[in-house]
Amino acid sequence: MKKNTKRLNNRKIWSRRSTILPEFVNTTVRIYNGKTFIRCKINEGKVGHKFGEFALTRKRRKLLPANAGPGKKKAKGKR
């Protein structure tokens, strides 16, 4: 089993729709997200899922405060 694990370690995966098989457990794979390869450690909990679930393709947006959105202007006080 060690030989098989060594062969699968650091494998590049382009097919995000492929299912993770038990042979990939305890290996590190690199999953393509459309721009770069994302390194992902495979454990027992990920078996049966798709590779694409673990390599996000979009950046996470930070939430802005309610008064700091685009088009908002600061209220001027009385003069």
15 within domain boundaries: yes
| Cα separation values, 37 from 63, 73, 75, 76, 78, Å | 26, 41, 46, 49, 55
Tokens of 43: 């454990």
pTM of the model: 0.69
CATH of the domain at 18: 3.30.860.10
- The answer to whether residue 45 is domain-embedded is yes
Nearest Cα residue to 36 out of 52, 57, 53: 57
How high does pLDDT run on average in the chain? 85
- pLDDT of 34 reads 93
Query: Is 71 part of a structural domain of the chain?
Result: no
Domain range for 32:
2-57
69 vs 46 pLDDT, higher one: 46
Q: Domain count for the chain, please give it.
A: 1
- What is the rounded average pLDDT of the residues 31-46? 94
